[in-house]
Amino acid sequence: MGKVPSAARVVLAQKLRAKWVTSGGLKLDQVAAKLKVKLQDQNVRGLSDTALSRYLSTEHTTLPEKAVLTALAEIFGASAEELDEWHELQRQARGDQRQRQLQRPAPTPEVPAAQARDSPAPVAMHAGDSPDNRERSRPRRRRGRWLVPVAGAGATVVAGLVLVLLLHAPGEETAAVATSASPPPAPDPGYGFAMRIDRMAFRILSREWTQTSAGDVELWWNNSCPEGTTTYWVALRPTGEAARFSCNSWQYRKWAGVPAGTYHLEFWKDQDGRSLHGSGAMRASVPIIVHPKPVPVPHPAAS
């Protein structure tokens, strides 16, 4: 199971994203370029557009440094009070991370069965013994025989786990399935909006909207996919509820009882080198305020 961000980390990401959305429509690569100019004389890491997308995500644990937050406040036009709040949330999130590390149990090494059979009996460690004395009491000929295969197996497992995490976005395995549908009705003004994706290679975000009361959110969508691509996913963010959609037909998904707040839709597909395009409409059962920003905002990995 992947790391779960703390509450302070989630709130910080939400506030950074909200300020970015209202900052004039800058793309992440443009923000990254401005960051590098502002912090070029400082030894600060995490200034790429990929790092920025993690800072703005409520599902990552990566934390921006204070200098990055200060520079982002200048770029986004945040007030001194907002910057102080960002710094405090960063401090709390950093403390939460340290606390989790202290509470994390030490891993218990696993010994392969073959090694357990061939290795000599363990040597007890007594007070006053040194590691060198204990090591000399063991036969040395088996060290090279087992350390290399065990290390190789561990590296393979870790590499495989990282690959799985990179290729599968959160929620894909447990996502609900969208249902077949007819083309959508035109959304009423103030209750929804139409959308279009001209090209998506991996991931795209919709514009954001704010609803002041709880209600249902409905989505009708039809993506035209190339041969070899059959599915894609759509999630209501920041709640993280995802649904799997089928290509080349109208699909429908309803998120019921969505609390008051600010939301957006996230579309993504497998990174298979193919691009898709499509259109659809979002409709809410309660009045919404649509943020007047360009749509869609491409994820850095999609460019």
Q: 287 with 185, same domain?
A: yes
**pTM for this model (two decimals):** 0.45
Query: What are the Cα distances from residue 100, in Å, to 52, 97, 104, 285?
Result: 24, 5, 6, 40
Q: Is residue 133 in a domain?
A: no
Containing structural domain, residue 41: 7-103
Q: 184 with 295, same domain?
A: yes
One pLDDT digit (tens) per residue for the chain, 303 residues: 456 778 888 889 888 988 888 877 678 888 889 989 999 888 888 888 888 888 888 878 889 999 999 999 999 999 999 999 999 999 988 888 888 778 766 555 554 544 444 444 444 444 344 444 444 445 555 444 433 344 444 444 444 444 444 444 444 555 689 999 999 988 999 999 999 999 999 999 999 999 989 999 999 999 999 998 999 999 999 877 899 999 999 999 999 999 999 999 999 998 888 899 999 999 999 999 999 765 444 544 443
Q: Is residue 77 in a domain?
A: yes
Domain boundary among 103, 138, 162: 103
94, two tokens: 């950093």
Give the model's pLDDT for residue 157.
43
Instruction: Give dist(CA 184, CA 194) in Å, integer.
Output: 10
**Burial degree of 270 (CB within 10 A; 0-12, 13-18, 19+):** middle
Q: 72 with 188, same domain?
A: no
Instruction: Give dist(CA 233, CA 270) in Å, integer.
Output: 9
Q: Is residue 210 in a domain?
A: yes
**Burial degree of 186 (CB within 10 A; 0-12, 13-18, 19+):** exposed
Domain boundary among 103, 131, 161: 103
Query: What are the Cα distances from residue 15, in Å, to 11, 83, 85?
Result: 6, 10, 9
Q: 287 with 199, same domain?
A: yes
Q: Is residue 114 in a domain?
A: no
Partnered with residue 258 across adjacent β-strands are 215
Q: 186 with 78, same domain?
A: no
Q: 205 with 94, same domain?
A: no
Instruction: Give dist(CA 241, CA 177) in Å, integer.
Output: 11
Q: Is residue 140 in a domain?
A: no
Q: Is residue 150 in a domain?
A: no
- Strand pairing category for 241-246 and 176-177: parallel
Q: 296 with 203, same domain?
A: yes
- CATH for 278: 2.60.120.380
Q: 187 with 283, same domain?
A: yes
Domain boundary among 103, 123, 158: 103
Q: Is residue 275 in a domain?
A: yes
Write the DSSP symbol of residue 202: S
Q: 81 with 187, same domain?
A: no
Q: Is residue 17 in a domain?
A: yes
Instruction: Give dist(CA 67, CA 41) in Å, integer.
Output: 12
Instruction: Give dist(CA 32, CA 64) in Å, integer.
Output: 13
Domain count, the chain: 2
